[in-house]
Homo-oligomer: A and B are copies of this chain.
């Protein structure tokens, strides 16, 4: 496995792979790798003969007072894990290589960056969109894999790829969960055992929304109310938002349809967690639910 920190060296490596006619799958991460990331890597490996994993805790997607400094960093451990997964190359640049002095050009995702996570974290998606476009330019991946857990990020990057005509196929991989339902996240490392238990109320509230939909409820308001009620029952947990959106523009739908999404963000102590579930038939697998979302994106060309 190649471990690369220089942008120019990463470009050379990827150009050489493409010159040999081999496709590259990219998995962008902030490190502190867990089963969620490993699912992304497996997907990339199933699609491409060469897989590049980037590890970069991107300062520009963290706001003032957020957890940039505290964000878990385990580069050596991550590299050992990626080696055992037979990843081909790790791209782990430092911030000065990604944002040299004088850096001034950003990618602005527009209105969808101002809602949900963007309302709580101003500038977050501008930082995400900029670094993801940079990674796309450096690696020129044929396929790039993102996790459903960061649902708004997926929607914004999909729109970016369409709007800026980036030549990459996006893969959305279903959220990986702990046995008790908590979505895998690097930020789960922050939780003490009491907080860890309180955090499971978020996936339970989202699951409650699915149950109401399965029982025939199609109107967002009562479903959102039920989720708020479920979250309010846990005093150690503060909700930033819990809502239902359609997956194309992230607007509140009149009717909850297959492919609509319930999203929530909560604070447990000083830790902020997000999660989401996709509405669809009860018997449908998570992978098929993601396909429902993707089907909402297809449009005539």
A137 to B133, CA, bound (A): 11
Of the residues B109, B137, B249, contact of A166 by C-beta under 8 Å: B137
Any B CB within 8 A of the CB of A138? yes
A137-B164, A140-B167, A165-B138 as given contacts; A111 in contact with B104, CB under 8 Å? yes
Q: Which residues from chain B contact A110 at a C-beta distance below 8 Å?
A: 104-106
Interface size, chain A (Cβ < 8 Å): 36
By a CB distance below 8 angstroms, the chain B residues around A165 are: 7, 11, 134, 137-138
Q: A108-B107, A165-B11 are in contact. Are A249 and B102 (CB under 8 A)?
A: yes
Interface string of A152-171 (1 = CB under 8 A from B): 00000001101111110000
Task: Report A1-37 CB contacts with B as 1/0, cut-off 8 Å.
Answer: 0000011100100010000000000000000000000
Q: Closest chain B residue to A111 by CB distance? A: B104
What is the minimal beta-carbon distance from A297 to any residue of chain B, in angstroms?
10
Please give, as numbers and ranges, the residues of chain B lying within 8 Å of A160 by CB-CB distance: 105
Give CA–CA (A7, B102) in the complex, Å: 33
Q: Knowing A134-B164, A137-B167 touch, does A104 contact B11 (C-beta < 8 A)?
A: no
Complex formed: what's the CA distance from A248 to B160 in Å? 28
11 sampled A-B residue pairs with Cβ under 8 A? A11-B167, A100-B299, A103-B163, A104-B110, A104-B111, A104-B112, A104-B163, A105-B160, A106-B108, A107-B107, A138-B165
